[in-house]
Amino acid sequence: MASSSWIPFNRPNLTGAEARYLMEAIASDRLSGDGPFARRATALLADLVGAPVLLTTSGTHALEMTGILLDLGPGDEVIVPSFTFCSTANAYALRGSVPVFVDCRPDTLNLDERLVENAITDRTRAIVVVHYAGVACEMDPILDIAARHGLAVVEDNAHGLGGTYRGRPLGSLGALAAQSFHETKNVQCGEGGALVLNESSYLQRAEWVWEKGTNRRAFFRGMVDKYRWVDLGSSFLPSDLLAAFLTAQLEHFEVSQRRRHEVWNGYHTRLADWAAEQGIAQPTVPPDRGHPAHLYYLLMPDLDERQGLLEHLREHGVHATFHYQPLHQAPAGLRYGRVARDGCPVTERVADRLIRLPLFAGMTQDGVEQVVTAVQAYRVRAGAGAGKATEQALSPA
């Protein structure tokens, strides 16, 4: 029976300060980039990740900046997961570089560090990791591989702000990191992002790239008598209106995070018995990781069951959805990239089976109850996913 209320997959979170800050920005007559609110948001974000940051108009633009800063060009190769959003690969394909798609782990769904070394060639320049659902990749082995081969590590940390790996903030582990503030993220301003600069050697050039290839920032600091075009770049910085909205979000980060964790933990605890009975896998969070409750997913036995649960939830007033489709099988992935020698069989299985449940900071307890009750009412057909071995069970210790 259909529910009388509708639970959306996502609803942008408002803290209450956004409208006031937007009006302050408008009244200041300073609407362009790198204004007063940009400086406030930058300081708040830098404190969260523990490194200098530059705000950008999107997480995609932050990734594109990493391609410029790494001097990537035609023929260079960049190792990326196939199980991610297209921006992770597109940023490097735009430079003429070749994204080399590597499979994900069966447990955390992150880039499988055990397959990375086999994907390295004499053309490899960087390894890009994505912390799926805000659960960290196996960063120590990846950083070790990169160091031995002289490669840069870039974190696509679109999911991971507030997460940790062995006590260290996500976004602080690679040479460079990209953040996203799209409306679906834990911190949001509609569209927005940031570049995190963990190695100081990139900082000056990053400012040039960020300011359309000019040394404009040095001019305003009184370091040069005029600013000039000194490097490649583009207009990556956001307006102070976006920064005002973002400032309100960052100031209330801990409050919104508490509620997101309440929702995530409610799902994880209350669906545990049902998932075990139905042969459905819940998220894996290793004990040395802290996650930011970015998303909650279930791995169904097969595609038919995934579609069955999606339809069942829709009938019960719940908007759930699937997630990434394999980049190595996408039209642009086939055109611009290549698959590593081990292939991506786990990515292909996961893409057919994963379902995401609604999760946002404004979600009420009644909403959580409606989602949980609807999920628990679903029954997997007999014999679905022969043996019902979960992806986690297939992962080596």
Reported as a single tens digit per residue, the pLDDT across 350-371 is: 999 999 999 999 999 999 999 9
Contacts by 258-263, CB closer than 8 A, 24 or more apart: 259/361, 259/362, 259/363, 260/186, 260/292, 260/293, 260/294, 260/359, 260/360, 260/361, 261/293, 263/293, 263/296, 263/359, 263/360, 263/363, 263/368
* CATH 3.40.50.150 holds for 18-251: no
Is pTM, for the whole model, over 0.85? yes
Q: What are the pLDDT digits (tens) for 113-167?
A: 999 999 999 999 999 999 999 999 999 999 999 999 999 999 999 999 999 999 9
Highest mean pLDDT among 4-8, 27-31, 169-173, 227-231: 169-173
Per-domain residue ranges for the chain? 18-251, 253-394
Class at the top of the CATH hierarchy for domain 253-394: alpha beta
β pairing state of 164-165 and 152-156: unpaired
Q: What are the pLDDT digits (tens) for 16-42?
A: 999 999 999 999 988 998 999 999 999
Per-residue model confidence (pLDDT) at position 345: 98
Per-residue model confidence (pLDDT) at position 385: 60
For helices 365-376 and 253-270, the axis angle rounded to 10 degrees is 30
Q: What are the pLDDT digits (tens) for 156-178?
A: 999 999 999 999 999 999 999 99
